[in-house]
Structure 1
Amino acid sequence: MKRNTVRWIAAILLLLALAAGLSCPSIVEAEEATKLPMDFTKGGVKTDKDKWTYDGKTPVAYSDSTIEVTSEKSSVTAKVKGKNVKHEVWVIRIKIQDASQLRTAVSKDTYNGRGQAKGEDIAKSKNAVVAMNGDFFKYENDVGYVVRQAEFIRDATDTSRKKKGQPICFDMLVVDNEGDFYIVPQARTKEIEEFIETRLTPEGRTVMDTFNLGPALVIDGEVQDIASSQAAQQGDYQWNYPQQRIALAQTGHLEYAIVEVFGQTDSTAGLTLEEFANLIAEKVPDAKIAYNFDGGGSTNLILNNKKICKTPGLREITDIIYFASAEGYVEE
């Protein structure tokens, strides 16, 4: 066979292979997406154990036709008692097929009371691929504008407990029904209603979840000035105090990242909020929105029902945010 003929055949085979790869993405296109039920008591589809990747005994990645999860472990140096100490950092990246796979769940499957549970137990009950702690809204039941899985829970933004004579006012993270993130700075009823009327309703979008803790660390790709953030300083964030921290970011449409920095031990203290915001800018440079969640002893990062970065003094929690598989889901 002539050399030119061989080259042409090889080129054609390569093009066919590339075309096959492009036509068979690991995550199905949106028009074929399977939607999970909005009922907060329902979870996702149980994962396929053969689709998990482990580093030793630690789950580090999962992929099926509806979700991709990858993780990166690194470290950051921070001062502890005047010494430079390395702190473990985890970045979990998630890509989902449909917005319904970004979900929330609560302890004991009820919004009532202050009942708490282990984060991994809540995650397991919902077949979570990856989960993190939420904002403790059940326990801190006198603050915030709260929506979960499209269900309105309460509006206590103007009647919440006071600090320096004023109601505590949070930067609020809004997740819409398309899975996109927004920040309503120092949110109160008026600002929230205006945001919904001007930003969501004209686009035919609705509120799926809201979170009331923060503060916002990144907005529109820009790291926020935590030192001058009124929301950070009036909330219970210990903003200038180093501690274990966790944040949730959106990096693209239906693409997200969770960032956790290890702390809570005698040798590791964690980061201040300002240090944490700068860390996110470094580790997740494509973050559009990044939002701080309850840190310290509430910090939970869970993969395949296994808590990452186990530390002493961790407490039970009231709620989680999680990402679930929808592969093979059949509507009941």
Structure 2
Amino acid sequence: MGAQQVRGVIARAKGEPVRIETIVVPDPGPGEAVVKVQTCGVCHTDLHYREGGINDDFPFLLGHEAAGIVESVGEGVTEVAPGDFVVLNWRAVCGQCRACRRGRPQYCFDTHNARQRMTLTDGTELSPALGIGAFAEKTLVAAGQCTKVDPAASPAAAGLLGCGVMAGIGAAINTGGVGRGDSVAVIGCGGVGAAAVLGARLAGAGRIVAVDIDDRKLETARGLGATHTVNSRSTDAVEGIRELTGGFGADVVIEAVGRPETYEQAFYARDLAGTVVLVGVPTPEMRIDLPLLDFFGRGGSLKSSWYGDCLPSRDFPMLIDLYLQGRLDLDAFVTETIGLDDVEAAFTRMHQGDVLRSVVVL
């Protein structure tokens, strides 16, 4: 077929508005696939890349919460074939590292991306966001980054499993191990926190307390299964959660902000022997200072959830099946659908808290 030229959203320099440029997508090599992108969600991580918050490997090809159709595959690819409807993931497991060999591929320590690079027309190599780069008509990924799901699913909803929604649902179900009748508190109800509320409901939690400083987000969380809400602008979050859990604190508290202050709230808002799950992403300079005796005396577990501890091959098809059965409202996360040209404006709306997800439809 030969290399193809398509349109893609590029971040050229730190803090500069993104722009649409022509990119070159090579034919897939061994173990690679070219995917015709149908939809891609606008995630906070993409903004993070543009602001230089991840690394300095500009220019970036942004976009990573995507669904699409496999167009072509390279040598040795058996897991997907041209024509398959797939959700893209940023953790293609290696099958060889110590985590994979111990039967824990969800923790794979050597996940991989496509070996070849997509470029600008002048040959400048692009860094694809999270190894995906899907604000583009087509993208090149490792075949293991493509997870085949039921094509009956709406691409706009399905693609969101590629990052934020999976991170939130997985934080509750996989990392937090929420069980039937458990009390759960979720601090921070943006896209990931709202998904954690949905995950807790799916797992059968008895009481789900949503905490945020924005009443609009709390209202959305209620619609997704929160039984109670606390606006922590006006109410102390720890006291609010304790009051709603018989004075004890929640069995599982999910921190979906990634700040020392909110982590401390999560730490003290859980019941004795309860679980704290950190799924919010902190920045390198953040520090936490808590009495070590409180770590010891409260028991329980403190966990970090990376991508919701998901195994895409196991979790994506299962969640899509639940979605198609009407048991998992992924459509609720799609606030608006936009074009490739609207990504910069979508960053502004996301920053202002106006949307759960803007989804680019190609």
TM-score of the pair, normalised by structure 1: 0.33
Q: RCO higher in 1 or 2 (8 Å CA, sep ≥ 6)? A: 1
Q: Counting strand residues as a fraction of each chain, which structure ranks higher?
A: 1
TM-score of the pair, normalised by structure 2: 0.31
Larger radius of gyration: 1
